[in-house]
Amino acid sequence: MKQKRIMTIQDLSCFGKCSLTVAHPIMSAMGLEVCPIPTAVLSTHTAGFQNWTFRDLGEDLPRIAAHWKSAGLTFDGISTGYLGSEEMIGMVADYFKTFPEALKIVDPVFADNGKLYPAFDEVYAAGIAGLCGQADVIVPNLTEAAYMLGEAYVPSGYDEAYIHALLRRLTGLGCRVAVVTGVIYDPARQGAVAYDRASGEFFQYFRENIDVSFHGTGDVFTSALAGAVVLGKSMQDALRIAVDYTVESIKATMPDVKEHWYGVKFETCLPGLIRALQTE
């Protein structure tokens, strides 16, 4: 069978287990050919560290696309994460036009827990909302969903009707499928809920709610989801594979929660992810 090929466009944070250092190994383990495009190089991620270095590599993005196009390369998928600047959002939109054959998965990555990440503002959030309109699948958390829709963030106490209506409004941005992560209806359970505008179906998958917050779990989830979707899994299977893998990665990190706050030990759980794909 022809190997699926995905490009992933996001930053390379050298320390901290997020973005490319998570997406590349996870999707490679899933059997995809992964072509990474670093948008920037940072010494660490920006959540919890201070004085990180940041080198913008935006200039190279159009050049890489032009070269790949002239070399006749095609892609089954494009997944995007932390981009770093509004200019970069425009460049990624150009990639979407240059490689129309690819399934496009956009993780907004600009906010969490009701707050924007340090490097971003409302203008950036609006730019990402525009990019989400050009994607096939978007993967916001509840904070990003609220910012993109210009609504108040509802941290808890919502019900299924609220989440379903939120998902409908998110697909109104222009994408076909919206997935929201970090959904908690019952304090004992946490999961992801998806809506496919084309079929009108909702999907959901929940696991036990582990009351701890690690950085980078969103990137782990989106990498597994993007890999599964590009491999041709159904949305229901993709949700289960991605939620289970994220939960297992969090559990593997719990014994070291203090020392390992910056990211999860997703590497040690890769064998389980590979098994989950084989048992489909």
CB neighbours of residue 8 within 10 Å: 27
- Asked if 13 and 24 count as a contact pair (C-beta separation under 8 A), the reply is no
CA distance 176 to 135: 8
Cα–chain center distance at 31: 18
Question: Could you tell me the smallest distance in angstroms from the CB atom of residue 263 to ligand PXL?
Answer: 8
CA distance 111 to 66: 31
Q: Which stretch binds ligand PXL (CB under 6 A): 95-103, 166-174, 178-186, 213-221?
A: 213-221
Measure Cα distances from 58 to 87, 98, 127 in Å. Answer: 8, 16, 16
For ligand PXL, give the closer residue by CB, 76 or 219: 219
261 part of the interface to ligand PXL, by CB under 6 A? no
Residue carrying structure tokens 């909702």:
202
For ligand PXL, give the closer residue by CB, 41 or 252: 41
117 part of the interface to ligand PXL, by CB under 6 A? yes
237 part of the interface to ligand PXL, by CB under 6 A? no
204 part of the interface to ligand PXL, by CB under 6 A? no
Q: Which amino acid is at 8?
A: T
Output the six-digit token pair for 40.
């920037």
82 part of the interface to ligand PXL, by CB under 6 A? yes
- Asked if 144 and 185 count as a contact pair (C-beta separation under 8 A), the reply is no
Taking CB under 6 A as the rule, which mask of x and - marks residues 134-163 in contact with ligand PXL? ------------------------------
User: Which residues ranging from 17 to 46 are in contact with ligand PXL (CB under 6 A)?
Assistant: 18-19, 42, 45-46
Percent helix / strand / coil, the chain, rounded to 5: 40, 25, 35
Question: Could you tell me the smallest distance in angstroms from the CB atom of residue 46 to ligand PXL?
Answer: 3
For ligand PXL, give the closer residue by CB, 68 or 214: 214
Question: Could you tell me the smallest distance in angstroms from the CB atom of residue 13 to ligand PXL?
Answer: 5
Tell me how many residues contact ligand PXL (CB under 6 A): 14
216 part of the interface to ligand PXL, by CB under 6 A? yes
223 part of the interface to ligand PXL, by CB under 6 A? no
For ligand PXL, give the closer residue by CB, 38 or 77: 38
CB neighbours of residue 158 within 10 Å: 15
Beta bridge partners of 5: 33
13 part of the interface to ligand PXL, by CB under 6 A? yes
Q: Which amino acid is at 116?
A: L
Output the six-digit token pair for 14.
């050298």
- Which residues of this protein are in contact with ligand PXL, per CB under 6 A? 11, 13, 18-19, 42, 45-47, 82, 109, 117, 216, 218-219
